[in-house]
Amino acid sequence: MPITSRDQLLTTAQAARILGVTPGRIRQLIVEGRLPARKVGRDLAIWESDLDRVKIRPWGRPYPPKPAPA
């Protein structure tokens, strides 16, 4: 994703606060490859613009399919 002039690097904790999830969930998204991150020292840094990749998503598990009428 292109970097904009107002884009900034966030820690996993900052990204978690913005998305309303735990830092562990942010790390899980990074490991799954759904959220790109860069290693900065011993920490992971996420560009704020990359949060859009996971921001718009349905919450929870999907509903199971309804059985066909008999």
Domains and CATH numbers, the chain: 9-55 (1.10.1660.10)
Q: Could you report the per-residue pLDDT of 12-69, keeping only the tens digit for each?
A: 999 999 998 999 999 999 999 999 999 999 999 999 999 988 887 666 777 888 888 8
Q: What is the pTM of this model?
A: 0.70
User: 1-38 burial, b if ≥16 CB within 10 A, otherwise e?
Assistant: eeeeeeeebbebebbbeebeeeeebbbebbeeeebebe
Q: Which residues pair with 21 in a beta bridge?
A: none
Q: Which residues pair with 10 in a beta bridge?
A: 46
Give the relative orientation of helices 12-19 and 23-31 as an angle to the nearest 10 degrees. 100
